[in-house]
Amino acid sequence: AKNRGKNTFQFYTADMNASAMARLKLEYGLHRALTRDEFQVWYQPKVDLASGRLEGMEALVRWQHPEMGLVSPVDFIPVAEECALIVPLGAWVLSEACRFTRQLQADYDFSGRVAVNLSGRQLKFGNIVDTVQQILQDSGLPASCLELEITESTAMDSDQEVGRALEGLRSMGVTLAIDDFGTGYSSLAYLKSLPVQVLKIDRSFIADLHQDKDDAAIASAVISMGRSLGLSIVAEGVELPAHRDFLRAQGCHMAQGYLYGKPMPAEAFRRYVQTFEAQ
Ligand code: C2E
Ligand code: CA
Ligand code: CA
Ligand code: CA
């Protein structure tokens, strides 16, 4: 028994070493990726539910790893956040997204907003107000065409720096959105105290709302309370016509999801805008 105990312990440490190594490799690869130009920004359309018009898009980062292929942000964003790489990476995504959107405005009659995700770390340590100001200036994109998505848990952070950053961004004319709403513990009453204009309902409440009474009740409560606070409501993860019909009937303003389009590389999104234009 003693022996087995020892072996178990050895396996355990061997496992830990393997995962620590994998983690270290990922971290190293991430740092290299920024200088090697391995990141890409993809875009997913956001559509106005009442008119069907293209209202804008969300910028979503992708990592094209030389051996691993396309790596999901779900796998590398948390690591980038822990090792602070999210600050330069986030700034790079912002500047790519603003440049691309300015180009769409120049080439087509595009007036939509681009939404970019911000991590808590960028709001706390990234000197974010100056960074955004500089990027808008360099790209020539008006502040009114930029939206920044902050998760509910980041917005809940009582850190003074976060609050100041949000106020600073808002006074520049940037739109602020609460992402993944419903997954944290914030109340809509609390949101009222933040300089936020958009509420994105997390896709976990959307997926089953056509067959789950509780999810449908939550979604419609968020929509009606959000509307009464003067917020613009976006549903994410809209995959089915049944989702769209329900959300539209409830007065949800916008939708984003596979029903309208998956995230796509910049060139594909450019063609998507072109076809919308032609309609
Ligand atoms: P998110 O901000 O909630 O982004 C929406 C995610 O839902 C995206 O996953 C998108 O591809 C996915 N999605 C959109 N429509 C549907 C649908 O109809 N069905 C389903 N099943 N999924 C849908 P993605 O691109 O893998 O990004 C995952 C997360 O990674 C994002 O979640 C965001 O939290 C983070 N992320 C992505 N890009 C960035 C970035 O540039 N900066 C930061 N800080 N985080 C990012
Ligand atoms: Ca988002
Ligand atoms: Ca989201
Ligand atoms: Ca989500």
- Among residues 264, 261, 268, the alpha carbon closest in space to that of 47 is found at 261
Looking at the whole model, is its pTM more than 0.90? yes
Tens digit of pLDDT at every position of the chain (279 positions): 444 545 555 555 666 677 888 888 888 899 999 999 999 999 999 999 999 999 999 999 999 998 889 999 999 999 999 988 999 999 999 999 999 999 999 999 899 999 999 999 999 987 999 999 999 999 999 999 999 999 988 888 877 888 899 999 999 999 999 999 988 777 777 788 889 999 999 999 999 999 999 999 999 999 999 999 999 999 999 999 999 999 999 999 999 999 999 999 999 999 999 987 766
- Which residue type is seen at 38? E
Pocket test of ligand 1: the residue of 40, 77, 202, 234 to mutate, having most ligand atoms within 8 Å of its CB, is 77
Ranges of beta strands (E only) in the chain are: 39-48, 54-65, 69-71, 113-118, 146-151, 175-181, 198-201, 232-236, 254-256, 264-265
Which residues on adjacent β-strands are paired with residue 115?
58, 147
* Pocket lined around ligand 1, Cβ cut-off 6 Å: 44, 60-61, 72-74, 77, 90, 93, 117, 119, 179-180, 203, 236-239, 256-258, 263
